[in-house]
Amino acid sequence: MTTAPPAVPVPSAPRHRPDGSPWPDRLWRDATAVLAANWSHDHTVPSRRLYPHQWSWDSAFISIGLAHTAPDRAWQDLRALFAAQWPDGRVPHIVFDRATAERDYFPGPAFWAAPAAPGGTTGLVQPPLHALAAWAVYRTCADRDPAAAGRELAWLYPRLVAQQDYLADRRDTGGAGLVSIVHPWESGLDNSPAWDDALAAVPADGRLLRRYQRRDVQVADAAHRPTDVDYARYIALAAAYRDTGYDDSAPLAFRVECPAVNSIYASAEQALARIAVVLGADPAPHHARAAAVTEALTRRLYDPDTGMFHALDVLAGARTPARCVSGVLPLMLPGLPADVAATLLAQRPVLGMPYSSYDRTAADFDPLRYWRGPVWINVNWLLWRAARDRGLPGLAGELRSAMLGLVTEAGFYEYYHPDTGAGIGAPAFSWTAALTLDLLAHP
């Protein structure tokens, strides 16, 4: 379904820098052009070279931006992803593009294939951001074509519910109502120091990397990517899960409760409650699960001594001491106790502005290596939304200016150097372009 480039309406809302001068008009046009160039048949790829397939939470972020310029593509991106949903409800973390060669991404479809599993996808998941995205796309599109937006929402709703039910029924390893991830890739914050302790228990078998070849370091700077030791562990974990037939009840070496994943999981229930009201369904179960997850998250992952949340290694029964941006993402949750929210807001000196992915004061803070220091637009966008929802216009304004400043100066990169603002990782990166559109549309 390759169609002509979409129309590009420029928002009428004023969009000015803090000093009153306007953000350049080219930002809107260039962001739109990045998304048009990354459109592939029926979905958007995160990056043509580094990530040439469809990624789950990328599609959620991307649809939020596309809603402003190409509503049909916004819905289509979500549809393509949910068309690949597994019978057990899981939404795969990658849907492989059949037209893309196996050698263009590792680990590709042949690596993930398992006898009883649906083909053409991985068996991992990513943060369930899609209900929030569906609601955001609906809000952007409903004024223009309410009937079409309502139809899309009605198609997605049962699938979004099944996605949440899979996580609730199959991933509550800790038994407290939180989701456990079984691989760092499931967090989306793949290389975060939050996983270092839990990963240390996973053997790093170098033979795995001799048998397979990393593709990422052929198309990106190796200093910006995970080390070979970490990558060997990623491959070992993925192969072990695959060899169980993606059985969540099998003994797996990595089971971690991540504050970011669980914040997004709870936020999804809030979005589903809003969607349910529009569709005439009952919002009460969604409100109930959102409240229960918020309570469990605070009880299990919050550390009053550091004033932030920390990932919990369920198998070892230990919280990581690492202070990562995931540890302040519970700001997304309206039900968070006010005193806890206040301590999260006080973490600015640790994480900086815009927020870095990791503690800037830590000895192993790395401004270049992905998720171990650099600034990411997607998590800053989530915090910007949280600040707006919490009635913190000062913080929301600072985050918006900081993000727009980065993309204006450097372009739409995958991530940014926290000190110099230089773009790192993949250029022409889809979620950065998409979320820029959303920032520009919301002064």
Binding site for ligand 2M8 (CB under 6 A): 46, 51, 55, 57-58, 93, 185, 188, 190, 216
In angstroms, the CA 433 to CA 47 distance is: 11
What residue has token string 């690492």?
322
Structure tokens at 413: 């990169």
Considering beta carbons, is residue 58 or 257 the nearer one to ligand 2M8? 58
| Min dist. Cβ of residue 185 to ligand 2M8 (A) | 4
Q: Rg (Cα) of the chain, in Å, rounded?
A: 20
In angstroms, the CA 43 to CA 180 distance is: 28
Considering beta carbons, is residue 127 or 174 the nearer one to ligand 2M8? 127
In angstroms, the CA 189 to CA 141 distance is: 30
Considering beta carbons, is residue 46 or 423 the nearer one to ligand 2M8? 46
In angstroms, the CA 432 to CA 58 distance is: 10
- Cα dihedral 378→382→387→390 (10° resolution): 180
190 is catalytic: yes
Q: Is the dihedral of CA 382, 12, 59, 278 positive or negative?
A: positive
| Min dist. Cβ of residue 195 to ligand 2M8 (A) | 13
Considering beta carbons, is residue 157 or 358 the nearer one to ligand 2M8? 358
Within its chain, how far is the Cα of 330 from the centroid? Answer: 14
Characterise 405 by phi-psi region: left (phi > 0), alpha (psi -120 to 50), beta (else): alpha
What residue has token string 């060899």?
243
First CA to last CA across the chain, in angstroms? Answer: 33
97 is catalytic: no
Given 190, 197, 295, 389, the catalytic residue: 190
Secondary structure class of 104 (helix, strand, coil): helix
Considering beta carbons, is residue 188 or 193 the nearer one to ligand 2M8? 188
Length of the chain: 443
In angstroms, the CA 14 to CA 376 distance is: 25
* Neighbouring-strand partners of residue 16: 22
Considering beta carbons, is residue 46 or 307 the nearer one to ligand 2M8? 46
